[in-house]
Amino acid sequence: MVTVVVGTQWGDEGKGKIIDTLAGQHDIVARYQGGANAGHTVVWNNQKFVFHLIPSGLLHHNVVGVLGNGVVLDPFSFFHEMTDLENRGIDFTNRLFIAENAHLTLPYHKILDQIEDNKRGKEKLGTTGRGIGTTYADKYGRIGVRVADFLNEEVFVKKLNIALELKNYLFQQYYRESTINVEQLVEEYSKYRKKFRELAIDVSAYLNDAIEHGKTILAEGAQGTFLDIDFGTYPYVTASNPISGGACTGLGISPKKITKIIGVAKAYTTRVGMGPFPTEIKDDLNEKLRTAGNEFGATTGRPRRCGWFDAVIVKYAAMLNGLDELIITKLDVLSGLKTIKVGVKYYYKGDEINKYPLDTNVFENVEVEYKAFQGWDENISSVSDFYHLPANAKKYIEKIEELVNTKITAISVGSSRDQIISR
């Protein structure tokens, strides 16, 4: 059985907590795309854990974590994160694996990502600066370095020489930056080789064998549907496919093996970085929601832009991902608002458009029609049963369910594991 968990907005939907909750019922948690740009926050035993590369379900001691070939792996971040978690009592022995065909993010990818985004000036994307786009660009440009290449020092040197021939030319002649020395990089990274050798496997073969033996797998998507390189608000997107289809190419499992797809949406909307955001709130309430929801990037600490729930995009996400169900997070953050709005329809140049438009030029200029709902004052963070929610909160959930045409099966009302209402 393979269940995929995807974000249905612009990331930060609270997938970390949902994956942590679901991981207890699974044998394996597998990340299928993205890299150290992700930041999944999980609160456990009153301690806050932020996962960037390591699957967030690994707080459960009997769960195996896997990083698929679709992930871009930064050895430096990976080892820092692993060591930090080990120092906090998490044991990864025999339960963490990485795909031998995953691509590595190396120091030059990070430097180039930051330089390139700055060079874009006004048109900057606001990337996380973690070398994500530049690593994927090298992967598709066929000058990437894979885990398997790194394991063999001779191959690693050869591949680095090919990649750095071009990068160093750019650094020196164009960006006027210092160049990267191959020998130094090889020397610096050799300390990671032994550990990588222990962790590297053929993830596709491993997962297919696990499926054959009746094991349950939770495929963890990072970022969200509208940051998808193909279907998101291009170019204001990440460089991979967070949508459910990405789980097949990013883990090496057949679409026939996916049994369930769960979407996660925040009860409102947030976005970090640049790009269109039709339901963004332009008054003081933006700040109020940011404070109430602690909306600051888990990776970069940047303040997140806040807005109303956009039913048009989530409905599109439900179709695109083939959602079987939807989980709503952070409903508690909306407590105390007199009125809560939901974007239900778009207009472009006066004409109604009935779905999310793939043309970003259209999307950035749509007018949103809202439906307003009465809010509730009660603190709902300890409610554990749907029927005990305030009537207006129930109405809000039921309306969203109707608008996005997907069953809402759970509602999260706080960051702890037990603050979740199953329906």
Q: Which residues are catalytic?
A: 12, 40
Site for ligand IMP in 196-225 (CB under 6 A): 222-223
Closest CB to ligand IMP among 299 and 373?
299
Q: Quick check: 112 binds ligand IMP (CB under 6 A)?
A: no
Closest CB to ligand IMP among 17 and 380?
17
Closest CB to ligand IMP among 363 and 376?
363
Q: Quick check: 276 binds ligand IMP (CB under 6 A)?
A: no
Q: Quick check: 38 binds ligand IMP (CB under 6 A)?
A: yes
At residue 130's C-alpha, the angle toward residues 126 and 131, to 5°, is 95
Report yes or no: 130 and 240 within 8 Å, Cβ to Cβ: no
Q: Quick check: 404 binds ligand IMP (CB under 6 A)?
A: no
| Shortest distance (Å) from residue 134 CB to ligand IMP | 9
Of 128, 225, 269, 329, the one binding ligand IMP by CB under 6 A: 128
Among 25-33, 125-133, 342-350, 359-367, the segment contacting ligand IMP (CB under 6 A): 125-133
Closest CB to ligand IMP among 58 and 383?
58
Closest CB to ligand IMP among 244 and 403?
244
Looking at the DSSP bridge assignments, the partners of residue 220 are 5, 31
Q: Quick check: 133 binds ligand IMP (CB under 6 A)?
A: yes
Q: Quick check: 21 binds ligand IMP (CB under 6 A)?
A: no
Structure token pair of residue 161: 């020489």
Q: Quick check: 104 binds ligand IMP (CB under 6 A)?
A: no
Among 41-49, 119-127, 181-189, 373-381, the segment contacting ligand IMP (CB under 6 A): 119-127
Of 227, 327, 368, 403, the one binding ligand IMP by CB under 6 A: 227
Among 31-39, 141-149, 154-162, 249-257, the segment contacting ligand IMP (CB under 6 A): 31-39
| Shortest distance (Å) from residue 239 CB to ligand IMP | 6
Among 167-175, 235-243, 324-332, 333-341, the segment contacting ligand IMP (CB under 6 A): 235-243
| Shortest distance (Å) from residue 200 CB to ligand IMP | 24
Count of residues that interact with ligand IMP, criterion CB under 6 A = 21
Q: Quick check: 182 binds ligand IMP (CB under 6 A)?
A: no
Closest CB to ligand IMP among 12 and 149?
12
- Helix/strand/coil (H/E/C) assignment for every residue in the chain: CEEEEEECCCCCCCHHHHHHHHHCCCCEEEECCECCCCCEEEEECCEEEEECCCCHHHHCCCCEEEECCCEEECHHHHHHHHHHHHHCCCCCCCCEEEECCCEECCHHHHHHHHHHHHHCHHHCCCCCCCCHHHHHHHHHCCCCCEHHHHHCHHHHHHHHHHHHHHHHHHHHHHCCCCCCCHHHHHHHHHHHHHHHHHHEECHHHHHHHHHHCCCCEEEECCCCHHHCCCCCCCCCCCCCCCCCCHHHHHHCCCHHHEEEEEEEEECCEEECCCCCCCCECCCCHHHHHHHHCCCECCCCCCECEEECEEHHHHHHHHHHHCCCEEEEECHHHHCCCCEEEEEEEEEECCEEECCCCCCHHHHCCCEEEEEEEECCCCCCCCCCCHHHCCHHHHHHHHHHHHHHCCCEEEEECCCECCCEEEC
Which residues would be at the binding site for ligand IMP (CB under 6 A)? 10-12, 37-39, 125-128, 130, 132-133, 222-223, 227, 236, 238-239, 272-273
